Amino acid sequence: MEHNARQAQKEKIMEHNTQPPKASTSRRSFLRKGLVVAGTGTIGAGLLAGGLSFPAFAEETSGGLTSGDVAILRFLAAVEIIESDLWQQYNELGGIQDSEVPGGSGSAPYIADLQKLDGDMSQYIHDNTEDEFSHMAFLNAYLFSRGAAPVNLDRFRHLPSSKATGAQQIGRLTNLMQLTVDTSWWTRYRSRTQNPDLGGTFAQAIPGLSKGQFPAIPRHDGDLVPDNHIQAIANTAAFHFGFIEQGGSSLYPTLAQGVTNLEVLRILLSIGPTETSHFQTWHDKAGNAKVLTDPTNGLVFPDLNASGGEDTQTNLIMPEPTIFLNRKFPPISIIRPTGIAGVGSAVATIKAFTDDGLFIGQSKEFFALLQQLAQQADAARRA
Ligand SMILES: [Fe+2]
């Protein structure tokens, strides 16, 4: 029943987010009877690929995409599915509950502590969640429209939900309860002399979060006390939001360099900056994290302004100019990294998510599939 409820919710969102072109109506009724569409096999009623539902506009295919473009889009679809899953969990407990996103019923103590970072946190969590669902739905619908296979990770939705009041009890793709959060993005975007593409390395803003495992959502109602414990969970979430969205900010411009088709390039260039818009917001909010020590596990959130240095100053949320391409050029304010040399950005993204603890409890098959999708995306080259 729970699975069906989730599926119904997802289909509602897909319906909400993918408006079929008006001209396709008559074709759609034709498709309903079953039709062979080149490259996709027999379909009916707009259904394809593991139960995912799409508007039936595959007939509008205007030429095949290169295998590289398909690989990039499929990897990004997988990433957006993963992001949607984790953002849904944040929204159920910390966001606004409405018909635009799959919700829970909220956790008042968690929301209260998130709002100590900004009174609009619940709205921002909701909107980030809706955006990821829209990215996921669009990318899969676009793949389908071009005769390529969409991505469906539903068979891996078996990780447990939080038992805290407010969370739905459904299977998840991601784990937000044992995170090891890399907060070096904080100093990376403040450095004027280092760039990861030119070998730069960066200190952790919150060293404690990079060692051990910490929840970013209450795991059960016992996590709602004492005050500094649930506040530490809200603080962890804030830094995790920044970690996730800075990743998307680099992933899209990096993969865009391997795209061949101009429309696919447009898609990547249009989604990527929304990830950066999220990142900018979360970067600002994380700077408002309460200075505290979690009495249950010793996790410290230090005063980032105490040093008086720019490497941690909380209001330096816009990218500081730094070296780019070659040190002979003047410093420039940029997204970083965006280089395609070395380990590919897709494989690096999966490694970063794995190191983050997001996939603790996932199956070997899940990791193998993600690795394959990532390697294929990284292998794509502009034709
Ligand atoms: Fe996204």
Q: Distance, CA 275 to ligand 1 centroid (Å)?
A: 6
Q: Distance, CA 335 to ligand 1 centroid (Å)?
A: 16
DSSP 274-301: HHHHHHHHHHHHHTTPPPEE-TTT--EE
Residue 374 CA to residue 50 CA, distance in Å, equals 20
Q: Distance, CA 33 to ligand 1 centroid (Å)?
A: 34
Q: Distance, CA 272 to ligand 1 centroid (Å)?
A: 8
Q: What is the pLDDT of residue 52?
A: 57
Q: Distance, CA 161 to ligand 1 centroid (Å)?
A: 22
DSSP state at residue 99? T
Q: Distance, CA 256 to ligand 1 centroid (Å)?
A: 15
Q: 56 in helix, strand or coil?
A: coil
**How many degrees, rounded to 5, is the angle at CA 226 between CA 222 and CA 229?**
85
Q: What is the pLDDT of residue 49?
A: 45
Q: Distance, CA 17 to ligand 1 centroid (Å)?
A: 14
Q: What is the pLDDT of residue 53?
A: 57
User: Across-strand partners of 37?
Assistant: 41
Q: Distance, CA 134 to ligand 1 centroid (Å)?
A: 8
Q: Distance, CA 132 to ligand 1 centroid (Å)?
A: 4
Q: Distance, CA 79 to ligand 1 centroid (Å)?
A: 8
Q: Which residues touch 150 (CB under 8 Å, ≥6 apart)?
A: 48, 49, 52, 54, 74, 77, 140, 141, 143, 144
pLDDT one-digit tens code per residue, 267-279: 999 999 999 999 9
Contact assessment for residue 180 and residue 165, using Cβ atoms and an 8 Å cutoff: no
Centre a 10 Å sphere on the Cβ of residue 158 and count the other Cβ atoms it contains.
12
Q: Distance, CA 135 to ligand 1 centroid (Å)?
A: 5
Q: How many helices (H) and strands (E) does the chain have?
A: 10, 6
The number of C-alpha atoms within 13 Å of 51 and in the hemisphere containing its C-beta is 11
Burial class (CB in 10 A: 0-12, 13-18, 19+), 176: buried
Q: Distance, CA 54 to ligand 1 centroid (Å)?
A: 19
Residue 351 CA to residue 209 CA, distance in Å, equals 17
In degrees rounded to 5, what are phi and psi of residue 179?
A: -85, 145
Q: Distance, CA 81 to ligand 1 centroid (Å)?
A: 9
Q: What is the pLDDT of residue 54?
A: 54
Q: So where are the chain's domains?
A: 2-378
Q: Distance, CA 77 to ligand 1 centroid (Å)?
A: 9
Residue 251 CA to residue 288 CA, distance in Å, equals 26
Residue 143 CA to residue 162 CA, distance in Å, equals 33
Q: Distance, CA 129 to ligand 1 centroid (Å)?
A: 9
Q: What is the pLDDT of residue 64?
A: 82
Residues of the chain with pLDDT under 70: 1-63, 342
Q: 146 in helix, strand or coil?
A: coil
Q: Distance, CA 84 to ligand 1 centroid (Å)?
A: 8
